[in-house]
């Protein structure tokens, strides 16, 4: 399966200062959702290039118009269907703890946490020696904005996918390995 993280695509575009990155940067840094027209265009292009394979979308769709656009594109492409919509449920206090302590490698994207999973040498990635930094949108104000955007624009997708018989709630508490075990039965290959 191809793992498509829209957040990673935006961060790469911002780092490489592409036209998409320039358009998206102020939204991403502030923790706001990037407008649907930009996000849908980005995913559309990616799916178009890789349409013969299975995808796992990560962080997409985040709004009902994005979900509708995805369905429309899938219908245009033909054979594919949406198998499931997995929601990782984590209480707000745990989200705050995870996000505020998260650190990421600028070079390879490896994810750390200041207390749960720090790199061996502070600020240096164990995998590749790259610089480990804090995402701008993991600062307190941006976290607040992101949680508000989630409640307003993304949470309604639970009902949307329940109506389509695709919604799956996954307990997102615990270690990455524990959560992966809960998700894997839903990933077919
Ligand atoms: P993430 O890495 O999934 O936490 O995404 C980081 C940021 O990228 C979000 O806070 C948004 O600014 C932007 N972003 C990622 N995916 C989407 C999406 N599906 N719709 C709108 N904005 C998005």
Reported as a single tens digit per residue, the pLDDT across 81-128 is 899 999 999 999 999 999 999 999 999 989 999 998 999 999 999 999
7 falls in which pLDDT band (50, 70, 90)? very high
**Which residue carries 């191809």 as its tokens?**
2
Q: What is the mean pLDDT of the chain?
A: 93
Distance 157 CA to ligand 1 centre (A): 15
Q: Is 34's C-beta closer than 6 angstroms to any atom of ligand 1?
A: yes
Whether pLDDT at 189 is above 60:
no
Looking from the CA of 24 toward its CB, the CA atoms found within 13 Å total 27
Which tokens is 108 given? 């390879």
Burial classification of residue 106, based on how many CB atoms lie within 10 Å of its CB (0-12 exposed, 13-18 middle, 19 or more buried): middle
Atom of ligand 1 nearest to the CA of 58: 3
Decide whether any atom of ligand 1 lies within 6 Å of the 154 Cβ.
no
Atom of ligand 1 nearest to the CA of 32: 12
Q: What is the pLDDT of residue 31?
A: 95
What pTM did the predictor assign? Answer: 0.92
Any atom of ligand 1 within 6 Å of the Cβ of 146: yes
């Amino acid at each position: 399966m191809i793992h498509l993280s829209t957040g990673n695509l935006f961060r790469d575009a911002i780092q490489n200062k592409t036209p998409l990155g320039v358009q998206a940067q102020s939204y991403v840094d502030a923790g706001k959702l990037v407008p649907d027209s930009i996000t849908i265009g980005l995913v559309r292009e990616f799916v178009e290039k890789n349409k013969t394979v299975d995808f796992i979308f990560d962080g997409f769709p985040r709004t009902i118009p994005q979900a509708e656009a995805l369905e429309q594109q899938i219908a245009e492409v033909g054979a594919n269907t949406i198998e499931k919509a997995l929601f990782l449920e984590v209480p707000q206090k745990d989200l705050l703890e995870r996000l505020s302590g998260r650190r990421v490698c600028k070079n390879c994207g490896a994810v750390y946490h200041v207390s749960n999973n720090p790199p061996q040498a502070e600020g240096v990635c164990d995998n590749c020696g790259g610089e480990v930094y804090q995402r701008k949108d993991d600062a307190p104000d941006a976290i607040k904005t992101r949680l508000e955007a989630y409640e307003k624009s993304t949470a309604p997708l639970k009902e949307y996918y329940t109506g389509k018989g695709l919604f799956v709630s996954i307990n997102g508490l615990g270690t990455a390995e524990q959560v992966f075990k809960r998700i894997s039965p839903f990933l077919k290959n």
